[in-house]
Structure 1
Amino acid sequence: MNDVLAHRTRATPDATALIDAGSRQEWSYAELDAAVDRTAGHLVGLGIEPGDHLGCLLDTHPAAVRLLHAALRLGCVLVPLNTRLAPNELEDRIERADLAALICGADTEASAVGVSEVPVASVDATEHAAVTALADVETVEFEPATWSRDDPCLMLATSGTTGRPKLVVLTIGNLIASAVASAFRLGVLPGDRWLSPLSVYHMGGLAPIVRSALYGTAVVLVDDDGTGFDAARARHALVEYDCTGVSLVPTMLRRLLDAGDLPDSFRFVLLGGAPASTDLIERCARRTVPVHPTYGMTETASQVATARPETAFAHSGTVGQALVGTDLTVIDAAGERVDRGETGEFVVSGPTVFAGYYDDPDATAAAFSEHGFHTGDVGHRDAEGRLWVTGRLDERIVTGGENVDPEAVASALRAHPAVDSAAVVGLDDPEWGERVGALVVREKDLDAATLRTHCRERLAGFEIPRTIGFVDSLPRTASGTVERDAVREILRERGD
């Protein structure tokens, strides 16, 4: 098969494909297809060949959309890189990914040149001697690649909340299966417009781009301009372009609700990246915001399970049933299936599950068993098949011989009306082995002693945080996942 954009362009060339809310520019599928052809020709002139790993150091921008589709057209593996990484982290990712070239923009050019030994080209004009302006590269004609479902097309880094991130290899089949499964849960209408404020260097930001091309609908980009999510700008784009859906993490949604009313055109808010608090879901219920809490990961090309609004409102905390085509098993420490209602690790199999970790056969082998891919996430499935995610295997705290579920402690903390969000980790302790530590974002005045008193009514004594710190916002990865190592460091320095 040819790339998804080529198929879509033949079917509906005049339909709107892409809208850039910043510049107010719009592209039909025919116009986007022609622009992708030009980009692909420049890449061939740069020396890119089928099968090459092509690095992308761009924020959410139309150039990133063109680059994604151009890589698919050439048969390349696109490697989106986090634009906010420290130089040593970026250098490590580039070295491990075996890039043939790195594409940057004006705002990421300095980072690209400083850490890369491969050819660097910019989608913008450049005066840097080590950087080539992609538009100035001679266009070379090429034969579009043909794809099979098992061919790798994307390489994305895991969140890396603890330890060194791994590189996840996703196939074109993974992306198509994910788009189909999501469509069965969220629905698709011809006039859909999906706002994408998430970064294109993680699956949450890439998925709407790929899915919109498959569905024949439009994707609307709103860039953060390097300043972080701007709720007012996002809300303006939602209203101006009659967006019907949006992908957000909980912090973004909270800010968007604070910014004002949401448009009547809304059909879905796909909410993932971090647990959604009961308060946030209740706010959505009161304002009839069609929120769909979702559970997913890079290794499954996005969603594993997603709750529809009626389920989310009636059963706050659930992420709903697994999507069509996804088989989910809950197992105990011995690898045996557990009954519904019992807690265990989620293991996933199906067409959305990734091909493996790049150049890391040991990690790949360790991640799979006869049941499928071991997510490392812990929770249970209720009698109706709804999933409840309660934590991670590697986050379990053992203090004085007692096991503590960090998510259970965080949930108790979030139940305090002055707590906006919380992260709970284990800290080294000479007497107890580990002690429970909590980093809290508060909405109004609150001290550690008051919070411990609140916890005593909800938690066992050994579960109550011995160390509590307060911050304006939790440290998170690009996908919105809490950076647990950073939480520990903050607590060591500032914890009470």
Structure 2
Amino acid sequence: MRDWLSHRVAATPDAEALVLAASGESLTYADLDARVEALAARFAGLGIEPGDHLAVVLGNRMEYVALVHAAMRLGVRLVPCSDRLTAAELAPKLATADATALVCGDDTEAVAVAAALGDPFVGSDADGEDPGEGDADEGTPGGSDADATATGWRSVDGFEPARVDERGGDEGEEGATAASPVPVVSLDDPDDDRVVGIDAAPDGEVPAVRWGRGDTLVMLFTSGSTGKPKLVPLSMGNVLASATASAFRLGVLPDDRYLATLSLHHTGGIMPLYRATLYGTSVVLRESFDAGGAVDDIRRYDVTGVSLVPTMLSRMLEARGTLPDSLRTVLLGGAPAPDSLIERCRDFSVPVHPTWGMTEAASQIATARPREAFDRVGTVGRPLLWTEVSVRDEDGAALPAGETGELVVSGPSIAAGYYGDAAATDDALTDDGALRTGDVGYRDEDGYVYVLNRLDDRIVSGGENVDPGEVAAAIRDHPGVDDVAVAGIPDEEWGERVAALVVPAGNPDPDLDAAAVDSFCRDRLAGFKIPRTVAFVEELPRSVSGTVERPAVRDRLERARDAEAEAEESDGPADPDDLGDADGASGVDEAAGADGKTASAEEDADGTADADGDDGSDGIAGADGDDGSDGIAGADEHGRGDDTEGTGTTEEPDDEE
């Protein structure tokens, strides 16, 4: 088939396609198609060919929406990257993705140039092969990577060819690198002479590309909340299956409008663009997240659907009390939703749909409707159409209803593996081709899914296995606690000790300290499960998908542990400055001393990510203040784990939308 916008404009040219929230400007599908055709012609004039890898580092804007469709029209694999990355963070992503070119704007040009054209260029261990994808004839999106990345470029001042060295050895072999600089194209007037402005490019002939279900449409990075981000190649068939299944679960009406307030580099941000085109509905695009502004836009534009993470929804409710009646769907994912938030949604008739998803699943895996969420506390619903979810033990054997194990998924929306990383692909897939999610959970007798924690979050202390989810649930029952993350940190005597990073409630209990947490837990948990280290922060650090950043949590807790040890040695309180700050932000942290007293420490008061990708940890979340946004984490759609559409505890693989 042709690109989806070509089919949509032929069917409903006068239907509304896009509304820019800031200005109110709207585009019909015919308007959008004209912009897409012009943009595609310019990239064709630069020599972009089917199968190329077009990396993007842009904030949410109309031109980004056009670029998403122009890439599909050209048969190009789009590689969205966060516009909040530093050059040091962006460069290895370009290498991992074998980027043919990098698209930027005036606000991302400096980082783009440093990452793509800097010297030396940061290499990657990717070998450039795409798992599960066969060769395709020239002129199709599935053309070989060698053809795609070694193509000759039409000469344009300042635009140099991007070439990738020949790669030898097996897929995923260490040492393979992208050796050449990556040419940079700006959608604005560039300041750097080495950057080509798209308006300066000649018009080329746009090829008549035909897409197959196995052709890679978009390549998304996981949030990397437990390690190095992986690159997930999602095929046209993956995205189509996900969009279809989502429509059956959530419902679609001709006049639907979906508010896009998540960054478009995230699964939960970009998937609504593809879906709206398939459905023939409209997207209302915000440049960044602002709690009150998002609610106002929902009311102003009669928005019917939105993807959020729990922190975003909480702040929207705090800002405006409730949400407008026009909403039919609030897809809530990216992190576990506190029971209190679901109860508030019930009390204020907010149509919340808790969901569990992953980047690897092109968004949702399971989604609960509001009544299901209210009646079955903690569930993320039943699996979507065509998606199978099983619970397996350590040996891979299926477990019966009610028993806890690793959640394993399969279906047409599941990616075939990770780009250029054969080892990660082998680790993630079972012998029968299903995906090990790394999430721990269970299904009840009626088939509803419950996601508890991550497989690699399990703690072994003194030979005893401790479930961090159980400990966290006990601490959350304290009336003075709003949220908590529990992790294991090294302990010389016990191997690991249980530690808790606690977020006090909005009106903090002056008596809530480490000793109070310890006392509260002793009535609810066995002694070996009680946290030996407790620290306090205003917000938990979160990834791009809104999931808790486990490495950052462990780092803060280890520093709190070290402060305790120093206090014991000096027989005095720990110096707050000794704890440092994990990410350079400020906030308040308390580390329990040996005598149960607490010592304050500088910590990140805005540890969640920015809804438009402005990172606290590259999280989806609102800006940390530099653009007036609320500084909260946004959701990759999926899940309990990457792209926003997921509710759960995620780390790699990444839950999204």
**Fold-level match, TM-score > 0.5?**
yes
Contact in 2 for aligned 1:51/1:75 (Cα 8 Å): yes
2:528 matches 1:466? no
2:81 — aligned with what? 81
Matched letter for residue 332 of structure 1:
D
Matched letter for residue 112 of structure 2:
A
Cα shift at 1:380: 0.3
Farther off after superposition, 141-150 or 179-188: 141-150
2:93 matches 1:93? yes
Structure 1 segments of 4+ aligned residues over 4 angstroms from their partners: none
2:286 — aligned with what? 222
Contact in 2 for aligned 1:17/1:216 (Cα 8 Å): yes
1:39 — aligned with what? 39
Matched letter for residue 165 of structure 1:
P
Whose strand fraction is larger, Structure 1's or Structure 2's?
1
2:376 matches 1:315? yes
Cα shift at 1:412: 2.0
Matched letter for residue 353 of structure 2:
H
Pick from 297, 300, 308 the counterpart of residue 240 of structure 1. Answer: 300
Q: Measure the CA separation in 2 of the matches of 1:398 and 1:408.
A: 14
Matched letter for residue 267 of structure 2:
M
Structure 1 residues 124-172: Cα deviation after superposition (integer angstroms, max 9, x where no partner): 2222222222122122121231100010111111121112111111000
Contact in 2 for aligned 1:212/1:218 (Cα 8 Å): yes
1:348 — aligned with what? 409
2:311 matches 1:251? yes
Pick from 160, 163, 185 the counterpart of residue 249 of structure 2. Answer: 185
Cα shift at 1:45: 1.8
Structure 1 residues 456-477: Cα deviation after superposition (integer angstroms, max 9, x where no partner): 2322222222111111221111
1:291 — aligned with what? 352
Aligned residues: 492
Q: Measure the CA separation in 2 of the matches of 1:337 and 1:118.
A: 47
1:272 — aligned with what? 333
Matched letter for residue 64 of structure 1:
Y
2:264 matches 1:200? yes
Matched letter for residue 439 of structure 1:
L
2:217 matches 1:153? yes
Matched letter for residue 452 of structure 2:
T
2:495 matches 1:429? no
Q: Measure the CA separation in 1 of the matches of 2:342 and 2:208.
A: 46
Matched letter for residue 137 of structure 1:
A
Pick from 190, 199, 205 the counterpart of residue 141 of structure 1. Answer: 205
1:327 — aligned with what? 388
Contact in 2 for aligned 1:193/1:243 (Cα 8 Å): yes
Give the percent of matched residue pairs that are identical in Structure 1 and Structure 2.
55
Structure 1 residues 311-357: Cα deviation after superposition (integer angstroms, max 9, x where no partner): 10011111010001001111000110000000011111110000211
Pick from 481, 484, 489 the counterpart of residue 547 of structure 2. Answer: 481
Which sections of structure 1, spanning at least 5 residues, go unmatched? none
Q: Measure the CA separation in 2 of the matches of 1:447 and 1:353.
A: 44
Matched letter for residue 235 of structure 1:
V
2:173 matches 1:111? no
Contact in 2 for aligned 1:423/1:439 (Cα 8 Å): yes
Pick from 496, 512, 517 the counterpart of residue 451 of structure 1. Answer: 517
Cα shift at 1:197: 0.9
Q: Which of the pair has the greater relative contact order for Cα pairs under 8 Å at 6+ separation?
A: 2
Matched letter for residue 40 of structure 2:
A
Q: Measure the CA separation in 1 of the matches of 2:473 and 2:260.
A: 29
Q: Measure the CA separation in 1 of the matches of 2:221 and 2:475.
A: 31
Considering only aligned residues, what root-mean-square deviation do their CA atoms show, in Å? 1.2
Structure 1 residues 369-409: Cα deviation after superposition (integer angstroms, max 9, x where no partner): 13511111110000010001011111111111111112222
Matched letter for residue 450 of structure 1:
A
SS of residue paired to 1:91: helix
2:333 matches 1:304? no
Structure 1 residues 22-58: Cα deviation after superposition (integer angstroms, max 9, x where no partner): 2322110110111111111111122211000000101
Q: Measure the CA separation in 1 of the matches of 2:107 and 2:465.
A: 46
Q: Measure the CA separation in 2 of the matches of 1:2 and 1:37.
A: 13
Q: Measure the CA separation in 1 of the matches of 2:4 and 2:195.
A: 30
SS of residue paired to 2:486: strand
Cα shift at 1:86: 3.4
Contact in 2 for aligned 1:199/1:478 (Cα 8 Å): no
Larger radius of gyration: 2
1:50 — aligned with what? 50
SS of residue paired to 1:468: strand
Q: Measure the CA separation in 2 of the matches of 1:82 and 1:406.
A: 31
Q: Measure the CA separation in 2 of the matches of 1:65 and 1:144.
A: 21
2:502 — aligned with what? 440
Pick from 476, 480, 483 the counterpart of residue 414 of structure 1. Answer: 476
SS of residue paired to 2:382: coil
